[in-house]
Amino acid sequence: MDKNKTTEIESVVIRFSGDSGDGMQLTGTLFSNLSAILGNEISTFPDFPSEIRAPQGTLGGVSGFQVHLGSGKVYTPGDDADVMVAMNPAALKVNAKDIKKHGVLIFDADSFSQKDLEKANFTTENPFEELGLSDTIQLVPVPLTSITQESLKDFDLDSKSVTRSKNMFALGLICWLFNRPIDQAIHFLEKKFRKKPDILHANLKVLTDGFNYGNNIHLALSTYLVDKSEETPKGKYTSINGNKATALGLIAASKKADLELFLGSYPITPASDIMHELALRKDMGVKVVQAEDEIAGITTALGASFAGALAATNTSGPGLALKTEAIGLAVMAELPIVIVDVMRGGPSTGLPTKTEQTDLLQALYGRNGESPVVVMAASTPANCFDYAYMASKIALEHMTPVILLTDGFIGNGSSLWKLPRLAELPGIKPNYPKTGMEGIKVTARDPKTKARYWSIPGTPGFEHRNGGLEKDYNTGAISTDPLNHQRMVDIRQAKIDYISNVIPDVEIEGNPEADLLIIGWGSTHGHLITAVNNINKTGKKVALAHFNYINPLPKNTAEVIKKFKKVVVCELNSGQFVSFLRTKVPGEYLQYNKVQGQPFSASELEEHISSLLK
């Protein structure tokens, strides 16, 4: 390898794109993981269609995986790609606008025939010209299909399996381009295809050939070196996606609380991976019921909560709508339950595989009656662990349903995660009645937190009847008394309000001396902080307040907001959090909204924020 041609860079964005059957998700995941092992900060964004195998070569079937590697702090998967891999013209067409001006485009030269071009609705023979690609983009045609066939000619494999292996050629090539030894990739593949030795050997052969191809034919390209990140605190790390982190957070909470974990669930994109992970964890004693529908997902969990388990259910927007009535029952019966909503584009079936923050108002208000619940949101793939843990802790200690909002972007995307130890995590004390309290009524509650005591069936002396009818404040019997109902409505609200005492204050990031405050919540933190940091680097001043706790809001919310002359709330919906803020902290708010099924890009945020500073 010609070391002279190696360029050291701080960060790089790579996007793999191809047909949904081309294995782009696997290629991207392998490359991200091996980069993380080499010490890079990473952030990934898988973006795929909801069709499992859309017609080959068409625009609707394009699947992409973007990874951002850095030697410094990496907050987002990046906006535009430095290096784009396009397996066919359709992938090129869908992604062309996101290639950087001086970027590199590697494409499968074998997949650019007249027929392929027509499938992707190109009308001329030169797709690059037709797309108006800048001539500063470096085109690297590689005959991926034929060279893979050549590479595997001595293998006894059907032609479909041979063609499928071309993603490994691309991976080998990218490893060469970024000076990545392929040992780690080999290790991953050995694990993944342990039970399919034929496929394994073919993949390893093609991977190695891809790496050597770059080396041997002296591709007229600089190779890149992204150094180890110095900003990552020392410790043991893995790369984790938000859905898996959520599952582990629930497990950790159940162990800390010394309770069995029960998940009632129904398959739904993009939330099912939480169920898959928990179904796997029988070693941790997790009980998973794959229910007959979304309603049974939550009601089996609510039954488990009544019976004394840490109960959870996971879903996405349409499923949350179906769970509405049961969440109301959890409010009325004052039972602990964690409802994880991995948000996707809506309304209705909407955009199942795309990301959005459009379920916030549904989470806050989507029930009959006065029905307050705790609502919180994770902001990175890794901190889905922390917020799933805290959601469980709050549910168990304060006897309330907790809705945890994540979304397709952080649910499927991954980031580095510093591995926790159970002993380091905050304690969880479920609100059990104390000994000597035998005979208490179902409505008996902790005088300070107002949380109802949780008496577990099977415990002598604490027999009780719970239910969805209004109860008498003192006796717990069914009651329609007007003043009693008012009192019960008020106490259920007071119980939720009290929780603001136990959650952390919202922090001000960026420049606290600024006049302009950016407000965000949930998964947009990475893009917002990147934009805010970039603007502050230019000498202008801007601050960021990012919310993970939404109901109740952190205690210092009003104080923080009032410090700034101008406040703009940025969110991936038409203004749901801002409408909530307007009722909680009245004042003037500007909005920046996007509802396109895609995350923000840091550059569009920078542009908008800069325009407000003029």
Measured at the CA of 345, the angle between CA 531 and CA 387, to 5 degrees, comes to 65
Q: How far is the CB of 39 from another protein (least distance, A)?
A: 6
Is the CB of residue 239 less than 8 Å from the CB of residue 36?
yes
Return the number of the residue (36 or 83) whose C-beta is nearest another protein: 36
Which is closer to another protein, CB of 137 or CB of 295? 295
Sheet with 261-265: strands ordered across: 287-290, 261-265, 310-315, 337-343, 401-407, 374-377, 549-551
The residue (of 238 and 610) whose beta carbon lies closer to another protein is 238
CB 122 within 8 A of CB 86: no
Q: What value does the CA radius of gyration of the chain take, rounded to a whole number of Å?
A: 26
- Residue ranges of alpha helices (H) inside 86-182 are 89-95, 114-119, 127-130, 144-151, 159-164, 166-177
Cα–Cα distance, 270 to 48 (Å, whole number): 11
| Residues belonging to the chain | 614
**Shortest Å, Cβ 429 to another protein:** 13
* Residue 201 Cβ vs another protein, minimum distance, rounded to whole Å: 22
Q: How far is the CB of 434 from another protein (least distance, A)?
A: 12
Which C-beta is closer to another protein: that of 325 or that of 481? Answer: 325
Nearer to another protein, 3 or 191 (CB): 191
Q: Rounded to the nearest whole angstrom, what is the least distance from the CB of residue 326 to another protein in the complex?
A: 7
Q: Which residues pair with 19 in a beta bridge?
A: 62
CB of 207 to another protein, least distance (A): 18
Please give the structure tokens belonging to residue 54.
């859309």
Would you say 264 or 270 has its CB closer to another protein? 264
Query: Which amino acid, residue 30?
Result: L
Q: How far is the CB of 206 from another protein (least distance, A)?
A: 23
* CB closer to another protein out of 112 and 454: 454
- Cα 29 from Cα 168, distance rounded (Å): 12
Token pair, residue 313, equals 């259910």
CB of 261 to another protein, least distance (A): 10
Do residues 74 and 11 make contact, with C-beta atoms less than 8 angstroms apart?
A: yes
**C-beta of residue 526 within 8 angstroms of C-beta of residue 43:** yes
* Closer residue to another protein in complex, CB, 33/530: 33
User: Residue 337 is encoded by which pair of tokens?
Assistant: 């339950």
| Residues facing residue 262 across a β-bridge | 287, 311
Report CA torsion sign: 299, 383, 35, 63: positive
